[in-house]
Amino acid sequence: MPYSSFGLHAGPAALRRLLDAVLSVGSELDLTAVLERIIDVATELVNARYGALGVLDEEGLRLSQFITVGIDEESRAAIGPLPEGHGILGLLITDPRPIRLPDLKEHPDSYGFPPNHPPMTSFLGVPIRIRGEVYGNLYLCDRQGDEVFSDVDEEMAIALAAAAGIAIDQARLHARVGEMSMMADRDRIARDLHDRVIQRLFAIGLSLEGISRSDLPPTVTERLHRAVDDLDETVRQVRSSIFELEERRIPGRSLRQEVLAVCAEAGQGLGFEPIVRLEGPVDTGVELTIADHVLAVVREALSNVARHAHARQVEVGIKVRDGEVELSVVDDGRGVDPEAPRGDGLRNMERRAEGLGGRFAVDPGEPSGTSLRWVVPTG
């Protein structure tokens, strides 16, 4: 709806709120921050108790992201999986036009709410378009102070959605420019890692091996052997990084960074940060849908360790080779009884592996703890 049309219906106060909202969503350049700002501003603009921004998948058939406002993290977790676009939410996907309802439950396409979902009544939904294509939808529920959303609320949401589309497009272009500026440095970094770092590590390893053959006390020899093993592992890690730098010409999502972030976050519950070992083309060799499963299993496995293992050390390993991604999580905790029935978390991990044509195993560790192995095709 044109801004001029909007201006015929709204008073000066509403227009000022809209202007502030438009300026606010346009002030960010990071895409994640833009999306969060949009739904925050949208709920404030129309005085909604609850709000969500759903981002469509590449086919435009279902929701791939769902950012919410008004529901705390604990309540959101209790609801379960995020919606994919059924019922009323799906109306805007199949027919991307604004929709306003006095009562969600009365609509014939109402899908109902899952358990633990807060009750919601009035609804306002507006599509967000970028260059004519639908990017996602704004979902706003329960107008505070009034029973239903008004014509002016709908017009303001439409105008904000237009500004949101521009802000999202701007953030995506900014990210692309940043990626392009990084590409010029990637080959140089890869060359430096190979020509300088790896060669120096290799030389140090040879020197230590030579020293270890001398007539030294057994304890010193053992420490030297461990140091050489650590250097070998470091060389493997650096070579994996070089492979990513050389192969990943169009930077995008980084499974490597996401795994490291998940492990760092898990460190708060564990009391220490897990050791992470990555090998092979972790970023380029794993399809996005498989990467999502990998992250989910890492989270679930580390959560199990934090809740049950009483471990002092955890090692997370990911290897990508021969068309498979292998995830291992090994702890030194109190171990697992292989005869005991599996809990929900382990069963979920097993179902994920089987559904992807892979395999899953949980065994007692050596000399203690638990060893989890989850292997699936890379795509």
How large is the average pLDDT for residues 13-25? 66
pLDDT for position 1? 37
Checking if the pLDDT of 41 tops 60, the result is: yes
**pLDDT band of 376, cuts 50, 70, 90:** very high
Task: Classify domain 253-379 by CATH architecture.
Answer: 2-Layer Sandwich (3.30)
Between CA 172 and CA 183 the distance in angstroms is 17
pLDDT for position 8? 40
Task: Give the pTM.
Answer: 0.47
Ranges of CATH 3.30.565.10 domains, the chain: 253-379
**pLDDT band of 187, cuts 50, 70, 90:** low
What are the pLDDT digits (tens) for 43-91?
988 899 999 999 988 888 888 889 899 988 888 888 888 787 778 888 8
Ranges of CATH 3.30.450.40 domains, the chain: 3-176
pLDDT for position 165? 86
What are the pLDDT digits (tens) for 308-340?
888 999 999 999 999 999 999 999 998 887 777
How large is the average pLDDT for residues 200-204? 67
Q: Regarding predicted confidence, which is higher, 339 or 289?
A: 289
What are the pLDDT digits (tens) for 146-186?
778 988 889 889 988 888 888 888 777 766 656 655 555 66
pLDDT for position 84? 78
- pLDDT above 90 covers a percentage of the chain that reads 22
pLDDT for position 246? 56
The fold of 3-176 is Beta-Lactamase (3.30.450)
pLDDT for position 7? 43
pLDDT for position 174? 66
Scanning the structure block, which residue is given the tokens 């919601």?
Answer: 120
- pLDDT above 70 covers a percentage of the chain that reads 75
Three-state SS string over the chain comes to: CCHHHHHCCCCHHHHHHHHHHHHHHCCCCCHHHHHHHHHHHHHHHHCEEEEEEEEECCCCCCEEEEEEECCCHHHHHHHCCCCCCCHHHHHHHHCCCCEEECCHHHCCCCCCCCCCCCCCCCEEEEEEEECCEEEEEEEEEEECCCCCCCHHHHHHHHHHHHHHHHHHHHHHHHHHHHHHHHHHHHHHHHHHHHHHHHHHHHHHHHHHHHHHCCCCCHHHHHHHHHHHHHHHHHHHHHHHHHHHHHHCCCCCCCHHHHHHHHHHHHHHHHCCCCEEEEECCCCCCCCHHHHHHHHHHHHHHHHHHHHHHCCCCEEEEEEEECCEEEEEEEECCCCCCCCCCCCHHHHHHHHHHHHCCCEEEEEECCCCCEEEEEEEECC
Checking if the pLDDT of 126 tops 90, the result is: yes
Checking if the pLDDT of 117 tops 50, the result is: yes
